[in-house]
Structure 1
């Protein structure tokens, strides 16, 4: 098994840095959430069971940000792991009312029986209520993988509805040899989502066009954000 010490050390250093940076007037926030299911690109990451997650983020006025996020996961016998730990950093801002975000995210599974970590670079553009985002795998550390190719393209939109509520709409496409390896089907599939949120509560529907996972699935969640 790969030595996880560098990852743990990096996480501890990031958490310590958050405290030091917060003292100098920069923004440090945290989030916690509980959900009836954890979906990633339309596919459950918790074996259709509940998930609890949380994270810490630092950002400054230049647009630079760095953060970490964790959640319980359950991939069954395919990968013996109990939690996911994400580390990410990037730069975001706005030019003439057009939002942009460029960054990198590392998906880690520290207690996995094998090394199944992978990383992605991402870029997004947003205008008014719509955001377009592209993510591309830069590396995968699963020794059984013969390919390291995965591209994800998504379009997200949000609209105010009713009283202090928000309607979210999502459509995404995953493609690449790694997608075929993970799903056991085609090298491309679509996922769709719609959600209604208010005061931290979210009710959502998720669907993919995969033959093995094409049912409409329902989830409910509650999230809380706060400043540190």
Structure 2
């Protein structure tokens, strides 16, 4: 899962070059390709661990046309809560259109198809999104809305964790939708390789468990947030990051999700508790 994908996603960064006559300057071509590979100590999607609070390797690539259209893909290993019927991988397919609507203001409209190869089709879902990006002085700001229409992957197939572990589906085939609203801000510290960053998001969806005891909005409605910093290593494509991520999901609110909603699915150690995230990313 993605939009926060707390430590890593494909970025539109590197320009492809085209050949030009001798003594002339190279000019960027109509198509650019960019991407990244990252190692993170925990894959958090909207504040909730998808890797059972363990290491994850993530990679993505994006192909962009000068018209503003783009397609991309992003993937990560999964564990625990995020296995989605036996899949140990998330593979996202992304497509959209990005353009500047006024000086300094960019709109990005697209959709993400969340796939879990090796799992079952009813855990896959599509989520359209709209993002506005601009700046307030030295601070970059992005505001986004993602709305996934009713799909089985978002339904409440189990009412609680006990049904998931010991009884079986109580509402098989249920469909639901999901809304996610978020804001990201970032600011580079002048004369340093450091960029400060922060994020807050709001999820609203089903209040049960979907197929294979997972959910995009585990408690139905909650907030997630992040605050941290990235350091670009001068002269290299490497960026190191550290951040603190948390949610307002309390142990009491998540009790009905157990044992699914815990590390090792043993009923202890919530996978939505606050933690420090570390990341190392190589961009190309």
Deviation at 1:99, TM superposition (A): 1.3
Greater percentage in helix: 1
TM-score (norm 1): 0.82
Q: Deviations over 1:101-133 (max 9, x none)?
A: 000110000111563101100001122111100
Number of residue pairs aligned between Structure 1 and Structure 2: 205
Q: In the TM superposition, what is the alpha-carbon distance from 1:206 to its structure 2 partner?
A: 0.4
**Structure 2 residue corresponding to 1:191, chosen from 201, 205, 224:** 224
Unaligned stretches of 5+ in structure 1? Answer: 1-20
CA-based RMSD: 2.4
Question: Which residue does 1:58 correspond to in 2?
Answer: 63
Q: CA deviation at 1:145?
A: 4.9
Are 2:90 and 1:84 aligned? yes
The residue that corresponds to 1:149 in the other structure is 177
Which residue number corresponds to residue 257 of structure 2?
Answer: none
In structure 1, C-alpha distance between the alignment counterparts of 2:50 and 2:128, rounded to whole Å: 21
Structure 1 runs of 4+ with >6 Å offset: 21-24
Match of 1:26 in 2: 31
Aligned partner of 1:126 among 133, 137, 145: 133
Q: CA deviation at 1:204?
A: 0.9
Q: Which has the higher strand share?
A: 1
Mark the CA change 1:105 to 1:22 in structure 2 (over 3 Å): closer, same or farther: farther
Q: Which runs of 5+ in 2 are unaligned?
A: 1-15, 19-28, 158-171, 210-214, 233-238, 252-269
Distance (Å, rounded) in 2 between the aligned partners of 1:26 and 1:186 = 42
Say if 1:75 and 1:81, in contact at 8 Å, map to a contact too. no
| Greater gyration radius | 2
Query: How far off is 1:147 after superposition?
Result: 2.8
| Distance verdict in 2 for CA 1:26–1:149, change over 3 Å | same
Calculate the TM-score normalised by the size of structure 2.
0.66
Is 2:203–2:217's contact at 8 Å kept on the other side of the alignment? no
Give the equivalent residue in structure 2 for 1:70.
75
**Which position in structure 2 is the counterpart of 1:137?**
148
Q: Does 1:207 align with 2:276?
A: no
Question: 1:60 deviation in Å?
Answer: 1.1
